[in-house]
Structure 1
Amino acid sequence: MKKLAIAGVLGAAVLASPAQAFQQITHKRIAIDAVNYMKANPTTTEYNRLKSWVNAAGYTMDQFAEVIGQGAYDVDDFQDTYLCGATTGDCVYAPVFNAGSSLVNYTSYWHFQNHTRGSDVHGNDFGGYNYDLLTVWGDIDNLAATWLYGDYMDDGNGGMTGWWWSDDSEYNTYGVTEANYRQGSYSSKSMYDDFEEMPFQPIDNLGQYWYSQFLSNPTAQTLGFVMHTTDLLQPHHVWTTSALNHSGWESWVADYYDSENLNNPAMVTTAIQNYTPLSASSNDIRPLLTQGGALAYGNGGIVLSSTDHSDRLQVAQVVIPHAIAMVVHVLNHAALKVNP
């Protein structure tokens, strides 16, 4: 039996800042609620196998739930993505126009899977955020593309520079973050030399990277990072836009999560049945994650145009239980992997 380690704070993560996906507390609640659902349904989930593994490492299930929830929360705070000014070569991890917008750190651009289009230039079945290829967009998308026009991705000392051959690289985003999230696809630096045409890798590749890290060295924290892929159940992240009521919808979900009983166990039970379980013999969780994205794309588009409470409630009663259910499926698979 493999041991579970509760890891320390990841070097790429930083102190909390405002959220730009499902709100960070919502990500955390979804992960914790998935563990609680398994606890209440041990005969239909791998809860006992999971509990045996966690307890053998000296932790309670409540402690485990807290750590994976915090991991899901922390991904929005990663300082792992720097973009550099086209003229100045100055490399930063967040936009100066950020105040009051739904965009916080540039790391958020890895948190999309565009279901409005097919495969991308990397060879992924669905691409990630790419301003040039957006099907729906709004003010924040336009603001970013205007402000960042011609800006390039920090590649360390890899040769990409500003117009005057100036470059103050802060982090090798292309050689580390993009490479990590490539996950078998193809990339070249030229893909990342102008922000307005950058084909960011999709969030299922982010999830697959962290899951592979978990399998090679099981920790609750890295498993928690995987759970940030519940962004795939946030309709804006599969219709792919930083605007169109993006932040307002996420605030609404956080505000009504409890009062509207969005984590209703009966709805989670139904949602679990709508997924094809992962094969225990496979290490690739992306088919499951993409199922979640397809569900949000097919059922959640109204929240891009409507702020009506009843419209938002109708969508939330689908996507939140399915987000919890997706985490349950991942935890079931993880339990089978580390405690066969």
Structure 2
Amino acid sequence: MEKEREIEQFRFSAKPVTAADGRVKLVPQSIGHRGFSAKYAENTLSALQAAIEDGADAIETDVRMSSDGVVVISHDPSTKRVFGSNGSLIKKRPYVGDLDKLLTLRPPNEKMPLLREVLELFASSANFDDKWLVIDVKADNEVDVIEGIAKVMKEVKDDFTFWNSRIVLGIWMVKFLPYCEKYLPQTPMMHIGANVWYARKFLGAPTLVGFSILLASLYSTDGYALIRESRAAGKAIYVWTVNPDEAMRMCLALQVDAVLTDNPVRFNELRKEYLNREADGKVDPESAVEKVLTLGTKTRLYALGLLMKTISPIFRIMNE
């Protein structure tokens, strides 16, 4: 069991890549945030497939449960922004005869996918053989969504050894942990969040492989401390959501394990550039970050980090 966990941990960490001159570097994995959402309507099958076909190492998607117990793919709690439908909550609407009729506002006007359809890609498509999936369990979900995820996994392929090498549960709130232990006791998990203090609550979780932290929250003394603590504990650091070139270069300099981005193609280009440049020698990642960022970006990151530190306790109270 410990050997299997070590393999899982390595799979979800920075990957070794050989540069043109034969040097091997560890570089962050590329995770398509809601698929290739810079090009396609977010969280559609087209966006998820395109991210993998265009070189992402993994994809991230969001789950919610409809009133008739169907686990669907949606970031927002309602369908208004993406589908133009009314603002009522997905959890209060049935999938059959309601949500299944909606089409995205953004071309090519696709339906809301089911988690089942996404998992079927991993179970049956050769393009997904060596890829993996982050399932973002949104904080305002009911806790029974974990049981729903486990049920879909089993129905698509009744082999949790298979799934546990391909799926990472993205958990925002500690309220979900007992249900993860009950229904998916061996499935790798990461904490997603923006508060470094709250993230430490997850360090003792038995299946924790890492932390997915808002970029601005890492750009701080507390953020750098979490990176050091995570590395000492053998846990990975992921960063969301990284779209500007400058932010991507910051993550490369910081030597994180994975980057969640709407544009995995662009990140892969910059990753290749980073991989093939001259070796920097032993440079402290935090010092390297300071060289990458402009003063304006540093100021914005610092301000946003302070804002998130202030409002995140309110977010927790609303969702625990």
Larger helix percent:
1
Report the structure, 1 or 2, having the larger strand content: 2
Which of 1 and 2 has higher RCO (CA within 8 Å, sep 6+)?
1
